[in-house]
Structure 1
Amino acid sequence: MPVVDENAAIRLQDVSFRWPGRSGFGFEVSHLEVARGQTMFLVGPSGSGKSTLLSLICGIVAPDSGRVEIDGEDLGALSAARRDRLRAERIGIVFQMFNLLPYASALDNVLLALAFAPGRRRRLKGREREEALRLMGALGLPSSLVATAPAAELSVGQQQRVAVARALIGDPGIIIADEPTSALDAAAQSAFLDILFDLVGDVGATLLMVSHDERLAGRFDRVASLTEIARTQMAHTGRSSAEAA
C-alpha cells in the first residue's frame, strides 16, 4: 500500500474513467500523488492517456470510481459548476495549443484568467494590470507589445509566454503544463523551462508537466512514466495498454 501524503496538492486513488461511446477510451490509476511545491514530469507516448489524466485532475470530467483530490478536496463530490470554480481558482493551465483569444491583446488574455477567479483577483488587491505586465516582463515580453498587439500577431514563443503568465497570475497554487514545449526547438525549450521554473519557484507553486519528450525530465524534482502508473483500455478491442504493448 502506498504511503499517503496528507499535504499532497494532487492525489488520485483507485481512479477509473471511461469516455462514453462504443469505442470509449478507458483509463485507470491506482495511485498518484504530487506534493505541494514539487515539480513533477510525467512522460507518456501518444495514446497513453495524458489528456484524460489532465481532464480528471482539472475536474473537467469526474471519475467513474475512486477519488481525485486537489488540496485534499474530492472533486468527485462536487457538482460540475463547483469543479469549474475550483479549477479557475486553484489551477493554472498552460495548454499545448495555448488557447489564447486571437484578437485580444496579450494583456487582456492574461487578465481573462481573473474574470473567473475572484479569489485570485483579490490577492492582487487592485494591481491586476501591474501584475500581468510584471509577469510578462519577467517572461521577456515588452509592455509596448503585449498591451496592444493581438495575440494572433505574436510569434509561437511569445504566445507560449502569454499562456504561462495567464496560468501564473494570482498564484493559483498548482500549475498544469500540457506539452508546452512541443512547438519549440531545443534551445528555446531550455530557455523557456528556465523562466518557468524561476516563476513557479518564486510563488512556491506545484508544477505538473506532461510531455512525450523524455529529454526534459532532468529538470524536475520527480519523474514518472504514465504507462507505469496508469492502465488504459479501448472498449472496441477490450485490450489493455499492458496487453497491447
Structure 2
Amino acid sequence: MRPFLSLKDLQFEWQGRTGFALSVPELSVAEGEKLFLLGESGSGKSTLLSLICGIITADAGHVQIDGTDLGALRPAARDAFRADHIGVIFQMFNLLPYASPLENILLPLSFAKLRRQRVENPKEEALRLTSALGLAPELVEQADTRELSIGQQQRVAAARALLGRPRLIVADEPTSALDATAQAAFLDVLMTQTQAAGATLIMVSHDERLAQAFDRCLDLSEIAEVTRTSPRAMGGPL
C-alpha cells in the first residue's frame, strides 16, 4: 500500500552563515496515522516540518503527499496545495496582530477552495473549535489578537489549522505555552478532529510524555541526521 506521506533521500542545507544541514534517508507515514516526533531544540524538527509542508524545498530527494511530489510543483502550485491539504500549527503562531482571533481562524479559507467546500458555516465551525479549546466566543469574535495571552494565541493557531478538515495536520510544539489542563484539552480536540476528518497527524515536541496519545513515536535522531559546519551559526529555524 502506498504511504500517504513519503520522504526519500531528503537533503537540505540552510544557506549563508547557518552551517546547518539535514538529511532524511526515508520516512513513511500511513493515511490516518498519528505520528509523534520527539526532538530537542536544534534537532532539525522545525526544518523537517517546513520541508514536509513545502514551505521550503529540499536540495535533493523527494517529499510526496498522497502521490504528489512537492518538489515537482511550481511555487504557486505548492502554496495552493498546502492551503488545500495541510493544516499547520506553527511554533511562532504566525497570526495577524491587527485582526481578530476569528478573522485569523477564517483566513485560510480565503485561499483554500477545497477546505472552504467542507465547511457549511465557517464562523459556526470556528466558534465550535475554539470553544472546545477553552476560548469564549466573545473573546474570539471581539478581541484584538495582540491582547491574547501566548496560550490563547496558540489555541487560535490550532483552530485555524483544523478548520476545513485538511488531510494532513502538522504541529510544531503546539502545547509548549499551555498549562497541564489546557494541554490535555488541546490534545483531546486535536485527536478528535483528526480522527473525524480521517486526517494524518504529525506532531513534534520535546515533551516525551505526550507520546502515549499517538499511534507511533519516533526520536528524530532515528530518522534524520543533522550536520553543523559552524558552531557559531545563527540562521534559519532548527
What is the TM-score with the length of structure 2 in the denominator? 0.91
Give the structure, 1 or 2, with the largest relative contact order (CA under 8 Å, sep 6 or more): 2
> How far off its partner does 1:198 sit?
1.7
C-alpha distance in structure 2 between counterparts of 1:180 and 1:138, whole Å: 16
Structure 1 residues 75, 156: CA separation in 2 closer, same or farther (over 3 Å shift)? same
1:181 matches 2:175: yes
Q: Deviations over 1:117-145 (max 9, x none)?
A: 122112224x2222222222232322222
1:130 matches 2:121: no
1:206 matches 2:206: no
* Matches for 1:9-28 after TM superposition, within 5 Å: 9-21=4-16, 23-28=18-23
C-alpha distance in structure 2 between counterparts of 1:228 and 1:81, whole Å: 33
Structure 1 unaligned segments of length 5 or more: list them.
Answer: 238-245
What is the TM-score with the length of structure 1 in the denominator? 0.88
CA contact (8 A) 2:33 2:201 kept: yes
> How far off its partner does 1:230 sit?
0.4
CA contact (8 A) 1:22 1:235 kept: no
> How far off its partner does 1:23 sit?
4.2
> How far off its partner does 1:156 sit?
2.8
1:110 maps to 105
> How far off its partner does 1:218 sit?
1.0
1:98 maps to 93
Structure 1 residues 156, 236: CA separation in 2 closer, same or farther (over 3 Å shift)? closer
C-alpha distance in structure 2 between counterparts of 1:51 and 1:195, whole Å: 23
C-alpha distance in structure 2 between counterparts of 1:228 and 1:52, whole Å: 16
Identity in percent: 59
Of 28, 32, 57, 1:33 maps to: 28
Count of residues paired in the alignment: 231
> How far off its partner does 1:22 sit?
5.0
Secondary structure in 2 aligned to 1:147? helix
C-alpha distance in structure 1 between counterparts of 2:137 and 2:175, whole Å: 23
Of 223, 229, 240, 2:217 maps to: 223
Structure 2 unaligned segments of length 5 or more: list them.
Answer: 232-238
> How far off its partner does 1:179 sit?
0.4
CA contact (8 A) 1:9 1:174 kept: no
> How far off its partner does 1:215 sit?
1.4
C-alpha distance in structure 2 between counterparts of 1:149 and 1:118, whole Å: 27
Q: Given residue 235 of structure 1, which amino acid in structure 2 is its aligned partner?
A: T
> How far off its partner does 1:106 sit?
1.2
RMSD across aligned C-alpha pairs, in angstroms? Answer: 1.6
CA contact (8 A) 1:103 1:151 kept: yes
2:229 maps to 235
CA contact (8 A) 2:133 2:185 kept: no
Q: Deviations over 1:39-81 (max 9, x none)?
A: 1100111111111101110101111111101111101111111
* Matches for 1:47-126 after TM superposition, within 5 Å: 47-125=42-120
Q: Deviations over 1:95-127 (max 9, x none)?
A: 1222212221111011111112122112224x2
C-alpha distance in structure 2 between counterparts of 1:39 and 1:119, whole Å: 22
